[in-house]
């Protein structure tokens, strides 16, 4: 993310990006709500891609800011079916924003 080809914006901290991992991100509540939040079809696995696109489309900056640290403590154990769900959500994202 730090090496994004989008570079830095003069009014934002960090490097501009068009994606992030929801489990390791911090978002302004107003931006999240303005962009419509997570799409109800994309409940888990890749849901943040569409949100990142929608944030950018609404004029919100999305950046990689290494000074901000988010802590995530996922449940242990297998994630059966996760790969198929991520692929499904990638296809739905492409279809929803075609």
Q: What pLDDT, on the 0 to 100 scale, is given for residue 97? A: 85
Confidence of residue 31 (pLDDT cuts 50, 70, 90): very high
Average pLDDT, the chain: 90
Listed residue (62, 52, 61, 57) closest to 89, CA to CA: 52
Q: What is the pTM of this model?
A: 0.85
- What is the average pLDDT across 42-65? 91
Give the whole-angstrom CA distance, residue 88 versus residue 4: 26
Name the strand (E) or helix (H) holding 63: strand 63-64
Q: What pLDDT, on the 0 to 100 scale, is given for residue 55? A: 95
């Amino acid at each position: 993310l730090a090496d994004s080809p989008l570079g830095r914006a003069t009014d934002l901290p960090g490097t501009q990006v068009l994606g992030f991992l929801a489990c390791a991100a911090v978002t302004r509540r107003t931006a999240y709500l303005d962009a419509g939040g997570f799409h109800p079809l994309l409940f888990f696995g890749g849901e943040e891609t569409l949100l990142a696109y929608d944030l950018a489309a609404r004029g919100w900056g999305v950046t990689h800011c290494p000074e901000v640290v988010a802590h995530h403590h996922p449940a242990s154990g297998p994630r059966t079916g996760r790969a198929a769900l991520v692929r499904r959500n990638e296809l739905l994202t492409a279809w929803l924003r075609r």
